[in-house]
Chain A
Amino acid sequence: QQQVKQSPQSLIVQKGGISIINCAYENTAFDYFPWYQQFPGKGPALLIAIRPDVSEKKEGRFTISFNKSAKQFSLHIMDSQPGDSATYFCAASTGNQFYFGTGTSLTVIP
Chain B
Amino acid sequence: GAVVSQHPSWVICKSGTSVKIECRSLDFQATTMFWYRQFPKQSLMLMATSNEGSKATYEQGVEKDKFLINHASLTLSTLTVTSAHPEDSSFYICSAREGSGPYEQYFGPGTRLTVT
Chain A residues close to B by CB (< 8 Å): 31-32, 34, 36, 41-46, 49, 89, 93, 96, 98, 100-103, 105
Contacts and interface: CB of A to CB of B under 8 A. Distances in A.
Main SS at interface, chain B: strand
Given A96-B49, A100-B43, A101-B43, A45 B107 contact: yes
A21 to B, nearest CB: 13
B19 interface: no
Contacts of A43: 4, 6, 93, 95, 107-110
Interface in B64-116: 91, 93, 95, 97, 102-110, 112
A89 B104 CA distance: 14
Contacts of B104: 32, 34, 46, 49
Contacts of B41: 103, 105
Interface in B1-24: 4, 6
Given A98-B34, A101-B43, A103-B42, A42 B110 contact: yes
Given A32-B102, A43-B107, 11 more contacts: A32-B104, A43-B6, A43-B108, A43-B109, A44-B93, A46-B106, A46-B107, A93-B103, A96-B49, A96-B97, A98-B105
Given A32-B102, A46-B104, A41 B44 contact: no
Interface of B: 4, 6, 32, 34, 41-44, 46, 49, 91, 93, 95, 97, 102-110, 112
Given A93-B103, A96-B49, A98-B105, A41 B112 contact: yes
B26 to A, nearest CB: 14
A102 B43 contact: yes
B44 A100 contact: yes
17 contacts: A32-B103, A36-B107, A41-B91, A41-B110, A43-B4, A43-B6, A43-B95, A43-B107, A44-B44, A44-B107, A89-B43, A96-B32, A98-B34, A100-B43, A100-B44, A103-B42, A105-B41
A34 B49 CA distance: 19
